[in-house]
Amino acid sequence: MESINYQNFRIDAENICVDYNGKVALYDANLRLKPGQICGLVGMNGAGKTTFFNALTGFVNISKGKIRINGESVRSAQKDQTIAYVPQNEGIDSQFPISVWDVVMMGRYGSMNIFRCPRESDVQAVKNAIERVDLTDHLSTPIGNLSGGQRKRTFLARAIAQRASILLLDEPFSGVDIRTEKLISELFIQFKNEGKTILLSTHDMIHVREFCDLVLLINKTVVAYGETSEVFTPENITTTFGGISPDFLFGPES
């Protein structure tokens, strides 16, 4: 039998199961992504999208299966700053007394010494990241004073500053302005060219067709996975959303 070279895959999740105190949130899920691929994660609320992210970052333990990140364990991926997680706006306490600069600097914490004293290289990485998301005018603005789009860009900058090769984005397009949406899509193209791997969850079917090479449809387990053009069919989407037709969910144009 030919052995698979796992090094080729950035993310390789094999038959993973996650349960919370006996309640199954995700079972027998598989995902393989290579460098430069963008994959959309689509499913209903409670279908296990966030759980999938949590399993990949190691925030929850999997009860079965195996996850390899660049052929290594999740733990060593954490140590190597391989994965960056960009949270949903709702998942963040926007009233926390912290500035844009401080949030982006948190992307560097994992590679600093125990006191988290920024070195010159950290400062430079943070500066560049903030430039790339066009927030240079808001360096010391508290995140509570930012718009939804600006806040989203702040967390993207944190992921950039971290220099992660895998980006997990939870609803990157929800609640953002047109300008931010445009900037995020430009960044996606740059990330792709840099060979980063992106996994993003979204409710918006148009974005899936626009950006994603691959799509993973889940409802507690994988409903369908593959090239967007092949897998992202009305039938599959209907199955994913529990029998409700996509027309009803997203309007006839999608």
Partner 1 sequence: MELCPFLTLDSFITEPLTHDFMRKALLMSSLVAAVCGFLSSYLTLKGWALMGDAVSHSVMPGVVVAYALGLPFSLGAFIFGVGSVALIGFIKQKSRVKEDTVIGLVFTGFFALGIVLVSKIKSNIDLHSILFGSPLGISLSDVKQTIFISLLVVILLSIFRKDLMLYCFDPRHAKTVGINVFFLHYLLLTCLSLAAVVGLQSVGIILVVAMLITPGATAYLLTDKFDNMTVISVLSAIISSLIGIYVSFWFDLETGGSIVLAQTFIFLFAFLFAPRYGIFKLKKLFAGYK
CA separation for the pair 69, 49 (Å, rounded): 18
Question: What residues numbered 170-199 form the site for partner 1, per CB under 8 A?
Answer: none
Output the smallest distance, CB 43 to partner 1, in A: 19
Q: From 216, 214, 202, select the one nearest 249 (Cα to Cα).
A: 202
Which of these ranges, 108-116, 171-179, 196-204, 209-217, lies near partner 1 under the rule CB under 8 A?
A: 108-116
The residue (of 16 and 143) whose beta carbon lies closer to partner 1 is 143
Size of interface with partner 1, in residues (CB under 8 A)? 35
Q: From 219, 247, 191, select the one nearest 42 (Cα to Cα).
A: 219
Q: Rule CB under 8 A: is residue 110 a binding residue for partner 1?
A: yes
Which residues, in sequence order, are CB contacts of 222 under 8 Å at separation 6+?
28, 29, 30, 31, 216
Question: If you write DSSP's letter for every residue of 16-69 in order, what string do you get?
Answer: EEEEETTEEEEEEEEEEE-TT-EEEEE--TTSSHHHHHHHHHTSS--SEEEEEE
Which one of residues 63, 81, 89, 238 is an interface residue with partner 1 (CB under 8 A)? 81
CA separation for the pair 254, 232 (Å, rounded): 11
Binding mask 13-52 for partner 1 (x = CB under 8 A): --------x-------------------------------
CA separation for the pair 208, 210 (Å, rounded): 5
**Phi, psi for 143 (deg, rounded to 5):** -65, -20
For residue 177 the two structure tokens come to: 């302005």
Output the smallest distance, CB 114 to partner 1, in A: 7
Which of these ranges, 39-47, 89-97, 130-138, 211-219, lies near partner 1 under the rule CB under 8 A?
A: 89-97
Binding mask 220-239 for partner 1 (x = CB under 8 A): --------------------
Q: Rule CB under 8 A: is residue 101 a binding residue for partner 1?
A: no
Output the smallest distance, CB 72 to partner 1, in A: 13
Q: Rule CB under 8 A: is residue 109 a binding residue for partner 1?
A: yes
Contact 66, 9 (CB under 8 A): no
Which of these ranges, 61-69, 88-96, 217-225, 246-254, lies near partner 1 under the rule CB under 8 A?
A: 88-96
CA separation for the pair 69, 63 (Å, rounded): 17
Residues making contact with partner 1 (CB under 8 A): 21, 54, 57-59, 75, 78-81, 83-85, 87, 91-93, 96-99, 102, 106-107, 109-111, 114-116, 142, 144-145, 158, 162
